[in-house]
Amino acid sequence: MIEALVPPHEEIELDLLLEAIWRHYQYDFRGYARGSLHRRVERACQRFGCASFSALQHRLLREPPLFAELMGFLTIQVSEMFRDPAYFRALREQVVPHLRTWPSLKVWIAGCANGEEFYSLAILFREEGLEDRTIFYCTDISPAALAKAEAGIFDLERVPQFTENHRLSGGRSSLSDYYMAAYGGAVFDKSLRARAVFAEHSLATDQVFAEVQLVSSRNVLIYFDRELQDRALGLFGESLVRGGFLGLGARETLRFSRCSEGFADFDAGERIYRRNTADLVMADA
């Protein structure tokens, strides 16, 4: 895509705004891909009636509730259950046989948004008989998204798409086995969450917290610049046990990253990589 030329003063104002957010609220958006971030901040300015990024910065430093609203512009929660069904089919058919060889499993869903990716994996693991030995860590920087993920209620209009995706992913049962229609939504069975931990965690500022066999982090790196992508991929590499698996989104890749040497392609088409069994080459090596 050809990016429109941004006047230099706006670039400076955006830098200062991101610096102010970091210093005042400890959320670090400084390493996000610039073009889309710029557009999202512009939209926020329109919504809040701010004539410039500096005006938004001025208000943000004085009105903390505004920051919670701004988070809705800075983070994007677009998702679907079994999004890109071929990815989940590849996990089911190719990765699960390897996962079965570990007596206990930990799965990190980094950037879990409102929970669609987590519920997809929880259902897949139940269908494949792995649920009882698994702990799912679901992390995101957005507290609002995490609260929705924990509630597990999705609009009923979205369910036909979820159902079709589940079928295409090789689902062994009917998706309707896992939810009830209530409160105007599809309420997913709380037993799916019994083995899940939901926590705030930023790939920009936080560290690794567990040793896991699978990291699924889809459609998160696309919002980061190259350096921040390398940081996040470095965390995934540190977190994965040798022979563990990393799944990324359809438009994301490990190729070109400083961390790629620590991994081998497992299913390059579905962006699934496997951590080398030999020593990991660290991002800053």
- Least separation in angstroms between residue 103's CB and ligand SAM is 28
In the bound complex, what is the minimum distance in angstroms from residue 234's beta carbon to ligand SAM? 14
Q: Which residues form the interface with ligand SAM (CB under 6 A)?
A: 75-79, 83, 111-113, 116-117, 140-142, 145, 202-204, 218-220, 223, 249
Nearer to ligand SAM, 119 or 178 (CB): 119
Quick one: 56 or 81, whose CB is closer to ligand SAM? 81
Which CB sits closer to ligand SAM, 179 or 223?
223
- 153-155 β-sheet, strand order: 153-155, 185-188, 179-182
CB of 170 vs ligand SAM, minimal distance in Å: 18
Helix spans in the chain (H): 8-25, 34-48, 53-62, 64-74, 85-90, 96-99, 116-127, 143-151, 159-168, 226-239
Integer Cα distance of 12 and 15 in angstroms: 5
Q: Which of 178, 223 has the CB closer to ligand SAM?
A: 223
CB atoms < 10 A from the CB of 207, how many? 8
Minimum CB–partner distance for residue 206 and ligand SAM (Å): 8
Q: For 25-83, what is the HEC assignment?
A: HCCCCCCECHHHHHHHHHHHHHHHCCCCHHHHHHHHHHCHHHHHHHHHHHCCCCCCCCC
Rounded Cα gap, residues 215 and 91, in angstroms: 12
Tell the smallest beta-carbon distance from residue 58 to ligand SAM (Å): 25
Considering beta carbons, is residue 50 or 145 the nearer one to ligand SAM? 145
Of the two residues 77 and 276, which places its CB atom closer to ligand SAM in the complex?
Answer: 77
Rounded to whole angstroms, how far apart are CA atoms 157 and 163? 11
| CB 117, CB 153: distance < 8 Å | no
Minimum Å gap between C-beta 276 and ligand SAM is: 25
Structure token pair of residue 176: 């309707």
